Structure 1
Amino acid sequence: MSERVWVVTGVSSGLGLAIAAEVARRGDKVIGTVRSLSKFPDSLREAGVVPLTIDFASSDAHIVEVARTALAVYGWVDVLINNAGNTTSNRPVEELRIEDIRSNLQVNFYGVVAFSQPFITHFRERRTGHIINVSSVGSIVNGPAWLPYTASKAALDVFTETLTHELKLFNVRVVSVMPGYFSTNIFQSSTDWREISGENGNNSSTMSKIYTDRVTQGYDTINELPRSHIASGQIGDPEKLATRVYELVTGTGLLKNLVPENGGKWEWNRVPLGPDCGVALGNRLKELKDNVDAFEEVWRSTDVEPERLKSFSRG
């Protein structure tokens, strides 16, 4: 097959950088977005990755314009990786600023939808293409003190599910990849980020004076979460994630038999990445089933009686 064209958003560091580098190394063409050209890595420039600037907090019209610019670079695109995102604040809901929630939804969801729309048209018309949304284990397994981030990622998963249904007949695949804990600088984008200093970290006004339980209330979670993964010896490798994403698109390696063209199911549109993610999702599924089973008598009790159905001719 001839070389593909990929658009990868948020390539300045972390998962986006790893994905762009892996794809370029494999010989495909890559367009990588950053908020500022000063943040574009020299390593990607040397690998031939084309830089493109975009701020997902900007207007819808500007975001769409940049997407169209990306489509014009080579005249076509085969793969869109929606990776760019941030986390604004990690506080209990009572202590959150509403603007922090709006900000996360803008960058991680609204901006992604706006950027994707020109690609959706392009892929539909070509009847081929991949949209890979970088979600999170937190989109389903929600912990305390992460509402802005996890709400935006949950919305991103709904976007994936919706597009899967809408684009299947056009042979366009849409998937959420769901990383657990990986070694990136995502936490540094939080307004509550504090450098870890010693065993207990710094005292800071961003740590709640009321919600102080580290386990159930997420006290100091932005430092506790990395500490816990270091202690358990479980940290994801961005380069390995990048390889799995490449295999997901190309139907090779560990993903060979899990993609539709090789017998996989279109409905397999969530890809857990990291043992912590896989285990957490499995546990969450058990919790949901237990919840549904416990309330079965209740949810079965709320339909109208069969003899009254004739009164609902229009539903």
Structure 2
Amino acid sequence: MTTWLITGASSGLGAALARAVAERGDNVVATARDVTKVQALVDEHPDTALAMALDVTDHDQITHVITAALDRFGAVDVVVNNAGHGYRAAVEEAIDSDVEELFATNFFGPIDVIQQILPHMRSRRSGTIINVSSIGAVVSNPGSGHYTATKTALEGVSDALNREVSPLGIRVMAVEPGAFRTDFAGRSLTQSATAIADYSETAGRRRKENDHSHGTQPGDPAKAAKVIIDIVDRDQLPFRLLLGPDAVRVARDELHERLAELEAFAPVSSTTDFTANSN
């Protein structure tokens, strides 16, 4: 039986994944800042589910959750770093304290979880770490620069981590979801207190009061959860897993544009090596 530890399991993709894991008979440690929001899952699956309070910015809470998971189930096979939130602001509008809290939650929190679970996984020469990123790590929209910076940073660390731990039998996967029908835009999205008029037609269009996408997103979190579980069951994982046809389209278009730009500037980019006549 596989044991999953999922952060941010109270809503959205995290909640759908925790439920799907429990319903197929696996063990699940479902965490959330407000533990009451994941208690129902334990009530339905008392033998295989454990609800734990976790703020991923709290190092001691992470330690407590991992210790409790190991005490209860003996091992943690899959860790899903899903906890996080969005932030809307033009780069100039962002408040330092907002950005510090955003990175603490979306980047440094998952890193702390990873660092604390790795000794256990290394000792077993087994384990899977899934870091939930965003299609925004591929293309960043106006107003989302700081949010996507956290996800780009998480993917960069994940890439290095994958190369470090794969020889030890540990797998790493970054998940890049497109738009899914969750309460992300309502509950999990914050923004700068001040809006600058010059950005009204760029970042301003994506501020919460102007964003009417909530409830119309194409993605189904339950289907995304099933895909993640099915992929984890395979012998080999992709390093990056796109979720949603919108994510596939965005990534494909961006890669085509990057390749075209690379080729267009390759002649000048390739002129920087030392030559016999270099001074």
Pair 1:125–1:96, CA change in 2 (3 A): same
Q: Is 2:216 the counterpart of 1:250?
A: no
**SS state at 2:257 partner:** helix
TM-score w.r.t. length of structure 2: 0.90
Match of 1:294 among 264, 272, 275: 264
Cα distance, 1:207 vs structure 2: 4.7
Match of 2:45 among 44, 47, 55: 47
Q: Is 2:236 the counterpart of 1:236?
A: no
Q: Is 2:253 the counterpart of 1:274?
A: no
Cα distance, 1:222 vs structure 2: 3.5
1:166-315, aligned counterparts within 5 Å?
166-187=164-185, 188-192=187-191, 207-213=195-201, 216-222=202-208, 226-227=212-213, 230=216, 235-251=218-234, 259-260=235-236, 268-305=238-275
Cα distance, 1:284 vs structure 2: 0.9
**SS state at 2:179 partner:** coil
Gaps of 5+ in 1: 194-204, 252-258, 261-265, 309-315
Q: Is the 8 A contact 2:88 2:189 kept in 1?
A: yes
Q: Which amino acid aligns with 1:14?
A: G
Cα distance, 1:82 vs structure 2: 0.9
Match of 2:29 among 28, 31, 38: 31
- C-alpha offsets along residues 220-244 of structure 1, whole Å, 9 cap, x if unaligned? 34355543983xxx51000000100
Q: Is the 8 A contact 1:68 1:118 kept in 2?
A: no
Q: Is the 8 A contact 1:92 1:217 kept in 2?
A: yes
Pair 1:211–1:307, CA change in 2 (3 A): closer
| C-alpha distance in structure 2 between counterparts of 1:139 and 1:82, whole Å | 16
Cα distance, 1:168 vs structure 2: 1.1
Q: Is the 8 A contact 1:12 1:41 kept in 2?
A: no
Q: Which amino acid aligns with 1:67?
A: I
Q: Is 2:137 the counterpart of 1:151?
A: no
State the percentage of identical aligned residues: 35
| C-alpha distance in structure 2 between counterparts of 1:306 and 1:39, whole Å | 68
Q: Which amino acid aligns with 2:74?
A: G
Cα distance, 1:124 vs structure 2: 1.7
| C-alpha distance in structure 2 between counterparts of 1:306 and 1:61, whole Å | 58
1:75 aligned residue: 74
Q: Is the 8 A contact 1:135 1:153 kept in 2?
A: yes
**SS state at 1:287 partner:** helix
Deviates more, 1:132-141 or 1:43-52: 43-52
| C-alpha distance in structure 1 between counterparts of 2:159 and 2:211, whole Å | 29
Q: Which amino acid aligns with 2:262?
A: V
**SS state at 1:191 partner:** strand
1:96 aligned residue: 94
Q: Is the 8 A contact 2:137 2:151 kept in 1?
A: yes
| C-alpha distance in structure 2 between counterparts of 1:156 and 1:192, whole Å | 21
**SS state at 1:94 partner:** coil
Pair 1:237–1:224, CA change in 2 (3 A): farther
TM-score w.r.t. length of structure 1: 0.80
Gaps of 5+ in 2: none
1:54-65, aligned counterparts within 5 Å?
54-58=54-58, 60-65=59-64
Aligned residues: 275
Pair 1:306–1:133, CA change in 2 (3 A): farther
